[in-house]
Amino acid sequence: MKITKMHGAGNDFILINNFTQQLGEDVLPELARSLCSRRLSVGADGLILADKPLAEGDIRMVFYNSDGSRAEMCGNGARCLARFAYEQGLVNQEMTIETLAGPVEAKRIDDTNYWIRLPNPSLIVKTTIDFEDTEIASHYVELGNPGVPHLCVELNDLATISQAKLYKMGHYLRNHPDLPHGANVNFYQSLDRGHYLEKTFERGVEDFTMACGTGSAAVALAVQNDQPDLRHTKIHFTVPGGELFIESRWLNETVLSVDLIGPTEVVFVAELNEIPFGLKT
């Protein structure tokens, strides 16, 4: 089985061309758990298959988290898939990617940088959520329909808070009983006008990742929801794995579009010698 490992700002994935491999979806949860296991296998935040479209898209994104759970979509993963599909000759420089959260437009900017148009938010609400007897002001954002759930929490000491305390908060809030579907938890701190430090605890990975594209989009929308003067500003995110940018268009209180721009990197291409549970190469 031929695989390609890629990352987008440190958010890493294993990609498979399922046009040729033709894996059934019944084997994918176990395959994701096996291949994404760090130290014991290749290691990644998720498994992505480039598959045949079911409707009017150019390609379909089949995405599984490292724990084997199916996810609606992934922003950085979609950017990596766009490059993978283009370099595999499956699509042109502009494409439509089918995802469970809806169609995603994608475009090659140059050899490494890719743009995608994320699904518009179906929900942006202010809320409070408890942590250790304290009510934390936050925003709950869902991108797409069914939506990718995100909780956005501003922490003024994000740059200096201990990793142990941040992990405790992220793990607790990700599984909070007020969030029936769970959520990715995005902590952010303002560094300058339109520039934020961000760290995301991702469901399905159950840990912090180096970047989260939909998480950055959710934070940008949360900030712009409260600060209309930022709605026409390209929002810059510094994440542990690099830099990401979000551009959105608003009409009064309605979000018209949300775009994610950032780098992609091919880490390696490999042929697996040992295939889990007898899968054919």
For residue 82, the SS3 value is: helix
Catalytic-labelled residue, pool 36, 74, 80, 152: 74
Q: Is 212 a catalytic residue?
A: yes
Distance in angstroms between the alpha carbons of the first and the last residue of the chain: 4
Q: Is 80 a catalytic residue?
A: no
For residue 229, the SS3 value is: helix
Length of the chain counted residue by residue: 281
Q: How far apart are CA 91 and CA 68, in angstroms?
A: 27
Catalytic-labelled residue, pool 36, 80, 152, 212: 212
87 token code pair = 């370099």
For residue 100, the SS3 value is: coil
212 token code pair = 């989260």
- What does DSSP say about strands 2-8 and 148-154: parallel, antiparallel, or unpaired? unpaired
Q: Which residues are catalytic?
A: 74, 212
